[in-house]
Amino acid sequence: MYALVEFKGKQYKAEKGALLKVDRIDAEPGTAVNIDTVLLVSGDTIKVGAPYIEGAKVTATLESHEKDDKIVVFKYKPKKDYRRKQGHRQQYSVIKIGEISA
């Protein structure tokens, strides 16, 4: 059984016991996270929402906060002596999916 959920503007496939990397959540690790914006639930039958399924909920726990690998943003214009180098590390949270109820 799996569910497609929308969380912080992005869509994820949630299965029981799966770990998801989502945008950073302002909470302590070990906190319960409830997601009620469920788009689709697949089990014995498939339920599709319009846009969300009424009464469906996914519960998860916040495991940790981490940083992604560094991305280098380099702008360059030839023959114009223009070079700009900038780095970025995206912060994200890891959540563990507990139960899917539809």
Q: What is the pTM of this model?
A: 0.81
pLDDT in tens, 4-63: 999 999 999 999 999 999 999 999 999 999 999 999 999 889 999 898 999 999 999 999
Distance CA 34, CA 17 (A): 15
CA 30 from chain centre, in angstroms, equals: 17
pLDDT surpasses 90 at 82: yes
